[in-house]
């Protein structure tokens, strides 16, 4: 896929988003762990989006996009396709502003995910489970409802909304040497990189990606977007590929993608669980795993870790704690 | 056992403890959950001692006791018997002040608990697993070392140290109608009740106790300390009985003991896990279970919940998340 020429969001765009969504999201805490600092020889700052509303940073991007719809657009509703956190974030954001949320989900999505969406007031539209079927069903829904489509990661308003997590962290914790964000669809990493570029330009932004879903690593290396084919990772939020809006931002502003094996991610998740008493998703624990696996690189550095969410699947939980 | 006539610690004693241990403990955050408030119709404030150093409130009492030892006493070391959080709290506190910690533990205590104590620098002295054997071994150790004994729950300095959690919460969240604390050995409940009596006298203090270990309930009802015989509960921190120092305080200042079935405690633990993304012990989740099980009593009230710790055993975790 070719790289799209896009105009980057401005510093003011990022600041505006923060004010726009202020009543819709929590300013989540930044936590630290003495023991994990000792283990890494670094100073780690955990930006806890697992404590965000609906349990993940996705609330930031979804609310920033939906709040910019006109009244007419809102009355027609918002449409997205997602079986994960973004589906819940759109449902909750839409409910708060009083507009319908139509969520295209694979018919074989787990019941627990469907219930979560319904619990936030979203309406589920089932599709076959291939990406193509999902996109066609979204198009069909859009043409029938004249609703507005919001992409989970490849949408400028979503990216700018996501940037507010790093904005808050940078304000609270100055002089970070590095920020590490997970990279799946690329919306969080792009938003994080934008925030750092405007508000803490000396800070390097790195992405952490599973070895078994290394499309962003390959895309950055080759300068073109590689699709994510047959991803094999416990990080269920990181199986998607970059998109035309976030790739140019990531390519320009992200210093490096660190690949992380799932077993290291599981160890990091257990460490956060046991020592910080926090529930995080594997897709979030990967950022700590990146730091633990590369002690030489990170020693004595001040490192911000974007802990993207805490909505962990029970089956994954069982796998992690029965091994 | 007869009630001992004791002189209650003063308001100034409580304030002094807070200053004394300030560098040894975290002022833990007070968190809330919109969803759990909606479920209960109450405003709940979670005082998160699961985020305390070594993962439990026990650090407060242990450090307050150890910091009052003279240099001569410190050099002889501190002795306690515990296979749980107090063993770790004494080990860590002793290490910080530079004195030996001798921990009498049953020889059949799980390896993970022994490792945790050793990890904080404590020295383990094994005994047979009966309470009598444990106490005899503690006495023997004391006579050999001339060390100082610190009881996990029935020691005035420990009780006063424990009061600092409620002191912090009362300062941060004014006008609480009720504070609920777990009750096992009684040290936390007594400390909480003392703090409320001095700093928020309009606040009622309640204890939450497992139905399968209802010795405190029976003791308060009958006005004498009943021992805990064959306790049967998932709340591994709440199997012990009240003591001569904390019973008079609890009897005078605690309004009621609420009995809670383990299945309600497990549900509350899962709720805290899934919705608040926090790891808590069953012995802590019981306070939320008490509120959830008695909605009529707590509706529209402002309720402080002492979340005592987050050191959950892997076997308990498996039991909770595989059912």
Instruction: Write the pLDDT tens digit of every residue in B260-318.
Output: 999 999 999 999 999 999 999 999 999 999 999 998 899 999 999 999 999 998 888 88
CA distance A249 to A81: 23
Would you call B279 and A280 a contact, using CB atoms and an 8 Å cutoff? no
Residue from B277, B315, B323 to probe the interface with A (highest A Cβ count within 10 Å): B277
Instruction: Write the pLDDT tens digit of every residue in A252-263.
Output: 999 999 999 999
CA distance B70 to A172: 41
With an 8 Å Cβ cutoff, the interface of chain B facing chain A consists of 29, 31, 34, 50-51, 53, 55, 273-280, 310, 314, 317-318, 321-322
pTM: 0.93
A278 to chain B, minimum CA–CA distance in Å? 5
Contact between B93 and B62 under an 8 Å Cβ cutoff? The reply is: yes
With an 8 Å Cβ cutoff, the interface of chain A facing chain B consists of 29, 31, 34, 50-51, 53, 55, 273-280, 310, 314, 317-318, 321-322
Buried b (16+ CB within 10 A) or exposed e, B49-87: bbbbbbbbbbbbbbbbbbbebeeeebebbbbbbbbbbbb
- Nearest C-alpha in B relative to A309: B277
Two structure tokens written together for A36: 């994990």
pLDDT at residue number B131: 82
CA distance A163 to A177: 18
> Which of A279, A314, A318 is opposite residue B277, by nearest beta carbon?
A279
* Site of tokens 């020295």: B123
Two structure tokens written together for B278: 């926090």
CA distance A248 to A8: 9
Would you call A280 and B276 a contact, using CB atoms and an 8 Å cutoff? no
Task: Using an 8 Å CB-CB cutoff, list chain B residues near A276.
Answer: 51
pLDDT at residue number B43: 97
DSSP B93-117: HHHHHT--EEEEEETTS-HHHHHHH
Two structure tokens written together for A162: 């996501």
Residue A110's pLDDT band (cuts 50, 70, 90): confident
Share of chain B above pLDDT 70, in %: 98
Instruction: Write the pLDDT tens digit of every residue in B34-70.
Output: 999 999 999 999 999 999 999 999 999 999 999 999 9
B258 to chain A, minimum CA–CA distance in Å? 26
Would you call A279 and B280 a contact, using CB atoms and an 8 Å cutoff? no
What is the rounded average pLDDT for all residues in chain A?
95
Q: Average pLDDT, stretch A75-94? A: 95
CA B307 to centroid of chain Cα atoms: 9
Tell me the pairing of strands B43-48 and B30-31. Answer: antiparallel
Q: Burial level of B224, CB count in 10 A (0-12/13-18/19+)?
A: middle
Task: Using an 8 Å CB-CB cutoff, list chain B residues near A273.
Answer: 279
Would you call B277 and A55 a contact, using CB atoms and an 8 Å cutoff? yes
pLDDT for A75 beyond 70: yes
pLDDT at residue number B276: 96
Would you call A51 and B276 a contact, using CB atoms and an 8 Å cutoff? yes
CA distances from A65 to A16, A18, A93, B71, B227 (A): 12, 12, 9, 63, 61
Would you call A276 and B321 a contact, using CB atoms and an 8 Å cutoff? no
CA B213 to centroid of chain Cα atoms: 15
Share of chain B above pLDDT 90, in %: 89
Q: Average pLDDT, stretch A150-165? A: 97
Two structure tokens written together for A262: 């799932």
Dihedral, B10, B240, B316, B90 alpha carbons, nearest 10: 50
Q: Burial level of B9, CB count in 10 A (0-12/13-18/19+)?
A: buried
Residue from A92, A277, A313 to probe the interface with B (highest B Cβ count within 10 Å): A277
pLDDT for A1 beyond 60: no
pLDDT at residue number B4: 61
pLDDT for B2 beyond 60: no
B52 to chain A, minimum CA–CA distance in Å? 9
Q: Burial level of B226, CB count in 10 A (0-12/13-18/19+)?
A: middle
Q: No. of H helices and E strands in chain B? A: 15, 10
CA distances from B94 to B44, B62, B64, B90 (A): 35, 9, 11, 6
pLDDT at residue number A318: 82
Would you call A277 and B278 a contact, using CB atoms and an 8 Å cutoff? yes
Instruction: Write the pLDDT tens digit of every residue in B70-119.
Output: 999 999 999 999 988 999 999 999 999 999 999 999 998 888 889 999 99
CA distance A178 to A202: 9
- Nearest C-alpha in A relative to B112: A274
Q: Does the CA dihedral A217-A221-A224-A230 come out positive or negative?
A: negative
Contact between A60 and A21 under an 8 Å Cβ cutoff? The reply is: yes
pLDDT for A4 beyond 80: no
> Which of A55, A277, A314 is opposite residue B279, by nearest beta carbon?
A277
* Site of tokens 């047959």: A230
> Which of A279, A318, A322 is opposite residue B279, by nearest beta carbon?
A279
Return the minimum-mean-pLDDT range out of A125-129, A172-176, B186-190: A125-129
Helix axes A187-199, A156-172, angle to 10 degrees: 50
Two structure tokens written together for A144: 């029938």
Task: Using an 8 Å CB-CB cutoff, list chain A residues near B53.
Answer: 34
pLDDT at residue number B61: 98
Two structure tokens written together for B200: 């928020």
Q: Average pLDDT, stretch A152-170? A: 98
DSSP B233-290: -S-GGG-S---TTHHHHHHHH--EEEEE-HHHHHHHHHHHHHHH-B---HHHHHHHHH
Q: Average pLDDT, stretch A107-118? A: 89
CA distance A84 to A77: 19
Task: Using an 8 Å CB-CB cutoff, list chain A residues near B279.
Answer: 273-274, 277-279
Q: Spell out the alpha helix ranges (H) of A77-232.
A: 85-97, 111-119, 131-145, 156-172, 187-199, 215-222
Q: Average pLDDT, stretch A164-184? A: 98
Task: Using an 8 Å CB-CB cutoff, list chain B residues near A274.
Answer: 279
Would you call A277 and B55 a contact, using CB atoms and an 8 Å cutoff? yes
Nearest to A124 by CA among A164, A160, A168, A90: A90
Q: What is the 8-class DSSP label of residue B305?
A: E
* Site of tokens 């609310």: A63
pLDDT at residue number A130: 85
Q: How many residues belong to chain A? A: 323
- Nearest C-alpha in A relative to B280: A277
Percent helix, strand and coil across chain B, each to the nearest 5: 50, 15, 35
Give me the total of CB pairs closer than 8 Å, taking one residue from chain A and one from chain B.
Answer: 42
Q: In degrees rounded to 5, what are phi and psi of residue A44?
A: -105, 135
For residue B244, the tally of other CB atoms under 10 A from its CB is 14
User: In whole angstroms, how large is the CA radius of gyration of chain A?
Assistant: 18
Nearest to B13 by CA among B157, B192, B151, B204: B157
pLDDT at residue number B112: 83
B39 to chain A, minimum CA–CA distance in Å? 13
Task: Using an 8 Å CB-CB cutoff, list chain B residues near A120.
Answer: none
> Which of A29, A50, A318 is opposite residue B321, by nearest beta carbon?
A318
Would you call A278 and B278 a contact, using CB atoms and an 8 Å cutoff? yes
Residue A131's pLDDT band (cuts 50, 70, 90): confident
Contact between B88 and B117 under an 8 Å Cβ cutoff? The reply is: yes
pLDDT at residue number B254: 98
B82 to chain A, minimum CA–CA distance in Å? 20
Would you call A318 and B314 a contact, using CB atoms and an 8 Å cutoff? no
Would you call A51 and B277 a contact, using CB atoms and an 8 Å cutoff? yes
């Amino acid at each position: 896929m070719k790289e799209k020429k896009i105009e980057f969001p401005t510093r003011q765009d990022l600041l505006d988003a923060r004010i726009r969504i202020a009543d819709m999201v929590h300013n989540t805490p930044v936590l630290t762990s003495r023991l994990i600092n000792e283990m890494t020889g670094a100073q780690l700052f955990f930006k806890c989006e697992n404590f965000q509303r609906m349990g993940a940073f996705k609330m930031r991007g979804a609310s920033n996009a939906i709040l910019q719809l006109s009244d007419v657009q809102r009355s027609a509703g918002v449409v997205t396709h997602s079986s994960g956190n973004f589906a819940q974030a759109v449902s909750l954001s839409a409910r708060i502003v009083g507009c319908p949320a139509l969520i295209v989900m694979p018919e074989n999505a787990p019941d627990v995910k469907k219930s979560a969406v319904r619990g936030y007031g979203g309406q589920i539209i089932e599709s076959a489970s291939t990406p193509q079927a999902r996109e066609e069903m979204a198009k069909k829904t859009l043409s029938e409802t004249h609703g507005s489509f919001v992409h989970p990661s490849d949408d400028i308003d979503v990216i700018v909304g996501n940037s507010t997590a790093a904005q808050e962290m940078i304000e609270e914790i100055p002089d970070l040497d590095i920020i590490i964000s997970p990279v799946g669809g690329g919306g969080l990493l792009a938003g994080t990189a934008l925030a750092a570029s405007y508000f803490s330009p000396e800070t390097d932004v790195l992405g952490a990606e599973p070895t078994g879903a290394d499309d962003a690593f390959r895309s950055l290396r080759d300068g073109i977007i590689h699709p994510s084919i047959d991803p094999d990772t416990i990080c269920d939020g990181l199986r998607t590929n970059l998109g035309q809006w976030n790739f140019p931002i990531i390519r320009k502003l992200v210093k490096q993608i660190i690949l992380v094996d799932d077993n290291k991610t599981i160890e990091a998740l257990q460490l956060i669980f046991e020592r910080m008493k926090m529930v995080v998703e594997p897709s979030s624990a990967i950022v700590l795993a990146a730091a633990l696996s590369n002690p030489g690189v990170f020693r004595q550095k001040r490192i911000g870790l974007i802990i993207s969410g805490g909505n962990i699947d029970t089956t994954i939980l069982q796998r992690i704690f029965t091994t």
